[in-house]
Amino acid sequence: MVPFIKLNPMLFNSFEYLLFLPLVLGLYYACPNKWRWISVFAASCFFYMQFVPAYIFILFFIILLDFTTAHIIWRSTGLTKRLWLIISLSSNILLLAVFKYAAFLLNNIFAFFQMVHFTNASAPTIDFILPIGLSFHTFQSMSYTMDVYRGQQKPETHLGYFANYVLFFPQMVAGPIERYKRLGVSLKAPQALSFESWRAALWLIGFGLCIKMVIADNLAPVVNQIYELEQPNIIQAWTAVLFFSVQIYADFFGYSTIAIGSAKLLGIEIMDNFKSPYRAASITEFWSRWHISLSTWFKEYVYIPLGGNKNRYGPWVISILAVFALSGFWHGASWTFIVWGLLHGIARITEGRQKPPRTIFFKRIIIFLIVSLFWIFFRAPDFKTAWVICKACFGFTDNTIFTNYNLSLWFWFFLLWLIEWFLNDQRFDIRMLQVSVWKRWCVILAMVYCILAFGGTQALPFIYFQF
């Protein structure tokens, strides 16, 4: 039983958030500069406590732990310094292990014991509700202590600012996973807000809502429906695979864009998390465009410490596989996520260490299809479902009955590609400044009409909220 149950996370695509944000802005700008951090802190706590209020203490624990250990690490040397880093990191990882991975680990340990006939007992049931966004804020907080350990970051002296770095509501539950040198500085010295930045922020929020509510939420029911079929046919399987590729991108990209827009309204800049990932012509390029904050986190704190590109071929292969498997495991406590990560790792290895050749259209399509097929393991709840979809994609299915899906749904699928073409590798607000006023108005009005008239009706939470 979880104390103070509430369990209604405040979604960006909810009426509550559309009320919450203006209230926070009012409070924020009513406060003198010196005290604005308090309004951000209060708003972030309130935002987080819409889920399970008691879980705020987990965040307070992380904040106090990493704030304190960072200071000790900064003042220590040699073994003591390393010891405190280990204490900090292992505490964060322990939190993750308890809340996110305990059931998975126990199930696998007991399954192994049963396999070697050590015991017949089954794993104890663990019924924790996963704290929302736990993987994001633990990784963010860990990056801070590691930066302090490396001497790349001075420890923050103001607990309030550090708390806001871990808690900052626009990116708290699904990233981007920020570094202190960027978000911390921005939180301490927010930019003065001009008309241009307000406008850009509103554009970003509108754009994020549009792709989440219109594209992701309209495709999601079809994907869910097909993944529940016992034996989909080849058309259904490819529909699910292609739609999910677009759904997850629109969903996460939409979330990140709303987060950037919301932060911008407070004068705070957060990093871009996506750069047209489906324009990538290689898996390496895909990972430099998809969930950029997580990719760079793993690169800086896992891949490079393991030797990175300087490794000989054998260790390099192992380090790549380790990083991608960890990345998969970061997403969810399931073997399907690990396999998803490993598939990307293997694809990355086959590309070798050379920089990929310049982008060509045909290669982009191939990479999109490969990435889409890999998503099957990300989306499927278990291997059985993943295998069913995989087989059906290649025609190994007895189901040959043609199902007449609502073909208009493909409009939302292609809309994303139209948007990608419009964005031309740039962020929406920047791109909008490059087009004529007439075009800008057309885009804004089309976007608003789509949000108002065509939003998916299931009010689905963002996929990455569960991580």
Residues recognised as catalytic: 331
Nearer to other proteins, 421 or 441 (CB): 441
Q: What minimum distance in Å lies between the beta carbon of 455 and other proteins?
A: 3
Nearest to 47 by CA among 194, 171, 192, 222: 171
Only one residue has tokens 């969903």, namely: 251
Q: What minimum distance in Å lies between the beta carbon of 5 and other proteins?
A: 6
23 binds other proteins (CB under 8 A): no
456 binds other proteins (CB under 8 A): yes
Region from 4-12, 268-276, 305-313, 341-349 binding other proteins, contact rule CB under 8 A: 4-12
167 binds other proteins (CB under 8 A): no
CA atoms within 13 A on the CB side of 341: 23
Region from 82-90, 254-262, 264-272, 448-456 binding other proteins, contact rule CB under 8 A: 448-456
Within positions 302 to 341, which residues make up the interface with other proteins, using CB under 8 A?
A: none
451 binds other proteins (CB under 8 A): yes
225 binds other proteins (CB under 8 A): no
Among 10, 13, 206, 269, binds other proteins (CB under 8 A): 13
5 binds other proteins (CB under 8 A): yes
Q: What minimum distance in Å lies between the beta carbon of 459 and other proteins?
A: 3
Among 3, 77, 125, 195, binds other proteins (CB under 8 A): 195
Q: What minimum distance in Å lies between the beta carbon of 273 and other proteins?
A: 24
430 binds other proteins (CB under 8 A): no
96 binds other proteins (CB under 8 A): no
Nearer to other proteins, 257 or 336 (CB): 257
- Residues binding other proteins (CB under 8 A): 5-8, 13-15, 18, 195, 213, 217, 441, 445, 448-449, 451-453, 455-459
